[in-house]
Amino acid sequence: MKDMFAQLENIRNREGFFKDTAAFLLETGEVLKLEKEGRLSLLPEEDLKSRLLSLWKGTTDSDYEESWMNPEKACRELSDGWGEAACFLRTDLNSAIAYAYEGKEEEFQELCGLFLGVCSLYDAKEPAQAALDRIGAYYRAQCARLTEENVRGAVDPSEAFFIRLIEESKDGGLSYLYRYGNPIGFQEEETARFLNSMPKEQIDKIAAAMVDGFRIGFENAGKDLSKKKTVQINYMMGFERLIRRVIEGFRALGLSPVIRREALNSFQGFGAEPKGCYGMSFSRQFAFDHRNDQAYYLNKDFAALRLAELENAYKKYEKEAALVAGPAWLEVFGEENFLPKLKKNTPVYTKEQNEVKVWYQGEAGELTNRYIPGEERSFTIMALPLPSLGKDYEGIFRETVRINSLDYVMYRNIQQKLVDALDRGKLVRVLGRGKNHTDMTVSLRELKDPAGETLFENCVADVNIPVGEVFTSPMLKGTEGTLHVPEVYLSGNRFLNLEIKFKDGLITDYTCTNFENEEGNKNYIYENVLDRHETLPIGEFAIGTNTAAFAMARKFGIEEKLPILIAEKTGPHFAVGDTCYSYDEDLITRNPDGKKIVARDNEISILRKEDAAKAYFHCHTDITIPYDEIGRIYAVTGDGEEIDLLRDGRFVLAGTEELNLELENI
């Protein structure tokens, strides 16, 4: 270590990128030294905070533009491709911060060695491609370790780094936040302060809803929870007081928590959906600019190596993987609106790389399902608001807790009216109004035993909190038309005039108006909706019934900030990708009225009986049409009768009118 630090000290005497990056690694090394010596946790809160903020300088909205991690800045300062290489390298070196806070000296040294190797190439006037090749070689050499690290963090409850920090949050201070190693800012700090001020009974109520939803999910699906010993917890830093009670609730069920760190480098998938313990303080433009960094080294051989190492890791942790019950997600919403800027000098996947990426995702999904069987696991998911909602934050928080705790019996009974009407249909028509020009025909399968079978699931608040939807897997043949939403947010990405065309249930064309050039619009949808597939089927059609959530959003003016979890309950929605029953198609489940749910497959998912690789896409994106953009939804029976369900944004089917009360109070 001393020799390595001496080399970094020499480089710090230079100028520009190499000077700044060497200084960053030396500063990170100081944190590692403090952690190894047991002195880091003894530092005052302000010292811990200032050190952490200094390490993550250049990744927030306030300082990203002048950071070496910004491709525009890097390419302005370094020529001949070295700007791209430097930007990529500096971004992936952020993993060193996590290693420092966890006391992982060997991993930290490997990253320092990578940087020193690239320095040597630059000094020898080698082309920038040599640096990119050097980084790719690093990931090939580290593939086994990094893959095992990912798997272990997802299945092994003995990994207790985050559990210790959650326990340390009991004192009511914020020192523990600055020992995560992830960037901490306004969202995390204010969330922690707000939760620390809440009455214990409110915290207990939210935690109980999350734990009970997980348990009821197993019961409703007829799965044996007693066979499982661990639960994967996903949460935003700052929610520790709540998560501590959630962990206690799961332990009462015999489940130990496993928590992993969110992705911080290209290998792990930085910029993708956060998993494990995550934060909200990265500049979203920063994450967007680096979402494709793996393109610098991805090829079929590398993907095959990752798959081999993934299987090796699962074999090593086979017993632990078999005991995983599934994930418990705490989502958040309320971030400022984000419209990404398309920049030059950012990596783009080639057609071949897109095919490799899709192939790898499919194979990795199948492998994971083999060791953590889908038919044996369940999940639960809940969303809570962020302090960035401003002066209405506390009111929105209270309202969100209310809609997460609605009377599921009332909704169950009303939704049954919708299910009964839909079961009579041969197809469903969905028509927009005003600026929304949706015109979709949804094809339904024929019920062979109407007295004992149903097409639509009556969804109450168990795994998917809050209550409020009926849904099915449509037949693809005959499902066609145009789905259009003037404005929608999907996984935090804003889409303007999103329009998708379907023929026999498959996407045939798509566009939006986010960018001036059509190529940019199509690529934006290709990456963020189609998940890089050439086409996707409609995996779900649903009618959301949670008018209380819609009214809350309209009251506070936060419709565009609702997460999919809540937004999908505020109108009809279509999901592209896998069905809702992926890997559970053959599991027998019933609605509360006892009828067996039979619409669990479509013409593509049924191919699992021949080749699972042809059946699953490992993505599922819900696109919701708000109530006030709906002109009409009606079922058409085999003899041509039209059964109105909604007209002009209101429920009109007999027995469902009570849902309109919340809408009338807007």
pLDDT for 654 equals: 97
Structure tokens at 273: 């959906």
Q: How many C-alpha atoms does 410 have within 13 Å on its Cβ side? A: 11
Assess contact for 31 and 51: CB atoms under 8 A: yes
**Sign of dihedral through CA atoms 273, 274, 280, 281?**
negative
Assess contact for 589 and 220: CB atoms under 8 A: yes
pLDDT for 406 equals: 86
Residue 526 per-residue DSSP state: H
Single-letter amino acid code for the residue at 423 = D
Map residue 446 onto helix, strand or coil.
coil
Closest C-alpha to 633, from 622, 647, 623: 647
* Cα–Cα distance, 231 to 326 (Å, whole number): 6
What are the strands of the beta sheet with 475-490, ordered from one edge? 506-511, 493-503, 475-490, 439-443, 425-432, 630-637, 642-647, 650-651
Map residue 613 onto helix, strand or coil.
helix
Rg (CA), the chain: 25
pLDDT for 147 equals: 97
Map residue 58 onto helix, strand or coil.
coil
Global pTM?
0.87
pLDDT for 4 equals: 85
* Cα–Cα distance, 309 to 141 (Å, whole number): 11
> Cβ atoms within 10 A of the Cβ of 510, count?
21
* Cα–Cα distance, 589 to 303 (Å, whole number): 37
Structure tokens at 661: 């009360």
Q: How many C-alpha atoms does 345 have within 13 Å on its Cβ side? A: 21
* Cα–Cα distance, 187 to 579 (Å, whole number): 34
Residues of the chain below pLDDT 70? 461-462
Neighbouring-strand partners of residue 488: 495
pLDDT for 461 equals: 64
**Sign of dihedral through CA atoms 390, 394, 396, 400?**
positive
Bond prior to 466 in cis (omega within 30° of 0):
yes
Residue 590 per-residue DSSP state: B
pLDDT for 651 equals: 97
399: left (phi over 0), alpha (psi -120 to 50) or beta: alpha
* Cα–Cα distance, 512 to 497 (Å, whole number): 5
> Cβ atoms within 10 A of the Cβ of 33, count?
16
Neighbouring-strand partners of residue 442: 428
Map residue 216 onto helix, strand or coil.
helix
Map residue 634 onto helix, strand or coil.
strand
pLDDT for 577 equals: 95
Structure tokens at 639: 């003899």
Which residues have CB under 8 Å from 373's CB, separation 6+?
322, 583
* Cα–Cα distance, 314 to 176 (Å, whole number): 32
**Where are the alpha helices (H) located in 496-636, listed in sequence order?**
518-528, 547-556, 564-567, 612-615
pLDDT for 538 equals: 97
* Cα–Cα distance, 267 to 260 (Å, whole number): 15
pLDDT for 340 equals: 85
